[in-house]
């Protein structure tokens, strides 16, 4: 896989699709990589939301649970993933970042039968759930786990992007919008992911 004209291009065998989102603009200096979860369990759900002009939201890339990817915004265009956000002296982080969304149902609630449910009341099997405490929250909750395939592909793409755009750091949406956003959440392996992408411990 490589980056050509600000798009990911497969060498061979990799499953990669480009579906353009209308929710984008010119003007980006990508010095950060910002990680998200979709808050839904399917790729189709995320892609159709980001294709909808009403959503006013998008990301450069969406990575499915099997590791397949859809690019929706070229890396030299501004995607609308970070919303109201700030980091250090910068605000409006869409202007300064590439955004990757991982298909993941996110923070879950438990029903009376002890089943874990997404916000839209879909059941997530308990073997795919980890109970953990978010850094900004005071109590534990159930969180949908990421898959190995997803983390592997995200790491590989993160590395490629870092080579092309030379990031200063890798951040979570919850870092740049604390109190409003909790993604990618406590089960995303941010420390190891950051080390891999930036090539430092
Ligand atoms: Zn997010």
Please give the pLDDT value at position 201: 52
Query: What does each of the 201 residues of the chain score in pLDDT, given as a tens digit?
Result: 999 999 999 887 677 899 999 999 999 999 999 999 999 999 999 999 999 999 999 999 999 999 999 999 999 999 999 999 999 999 999 999 999 999 999 999 999 999 999 999 999 999 999 999 999 999 999 999 999 999 999 999 999 999 999 999 999 999 999 999 999 999 999 999 999 999 875
What's the rounded Cα separation, in Å, for the pair 113 and 166?
A: 48
Q: What is the helix (H) or strand (E) element at residue 123, kind and residue range?
A: strand 123-124
Please give the pLDDT value at position 53: 98
Which of the residues are catalytic?
101
How many A from CA of 8 to the centre of ligand 1?
21
What's the rounded Cα separation, in Å, for the pair 80 and 92?
A: 10
Contact 104, 184 (CB under 8 A): yes
Spell out the alpha helix ranges (H) of 91-137.
none
CA nearest neighbour of 33 among 56, 65, 9, 59:
59
Token pair of 33 as six digits: 């990589």
CA nearest neighbour of 58 among 76, 38, 80, 40:
80
Please give the pLDDT value at position 14: 72
Please give the pLDDT value at position 12: 78
How many A from CA of 164 to the centre of ligand 1?
23
Superfamily of structural domain 2-104+147-198: Peptidoglycan recognition protein-like (3.40.80.10)
Q: At what angle do helices 148-165 and 190-198 cross, to 10 degrees?
A: 40
Is residue 79 helix, strand or coil? strand
How many A from CA of 176 to the centre of ligand 1?
10
Domain boundaries, the chain: 2-104+147-198
Contact 173, 36 (CB under 8 A): yes
How many A from CA of 99 to the centre of ligand 1?
8
């Amino acid at each position: 896989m490589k980056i050509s004209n600000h798009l990911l291009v497969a060498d061979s065998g990799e499953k990669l699709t480009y579906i353009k989102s209308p929710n984008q603009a010119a003007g980006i200096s990508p010095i950060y990589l910002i990680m998200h979860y979709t808050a839904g369990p399917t790729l189709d759900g995320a892609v159709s939301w980001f294709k909808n002009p009403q959503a006013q939201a998008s990301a450069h890339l969406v990575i499915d649970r099997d590791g397949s990817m859809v690019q929706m915004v070229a890396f030299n265009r501004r995607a609308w993933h970070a919303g109201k956000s700030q980091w250090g002296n910068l605000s409006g982080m869409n202007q300064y970042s590439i955004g990757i969304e991982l298909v993941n149902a996110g923070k879950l609630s438990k029903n009376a039968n002890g089943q874990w449910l997404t916000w839209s009341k879909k059941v997530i099997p308990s073997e795919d759930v980890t109970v953990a405490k978010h850094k900004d929250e005071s109590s534990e909750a159930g969180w949908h786990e990421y898959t190995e395939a997803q983390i592997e592909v995200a790491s590989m793409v993160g590395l490629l992007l870092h080579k092309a755009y030379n990031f200063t750091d890798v951040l979570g949406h919850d870092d740049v919008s604390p109190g409003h956003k909790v993604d990618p959440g406590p089960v995303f392996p941010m420390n190891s992911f950051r080390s891999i992408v930036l090539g430092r411990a």
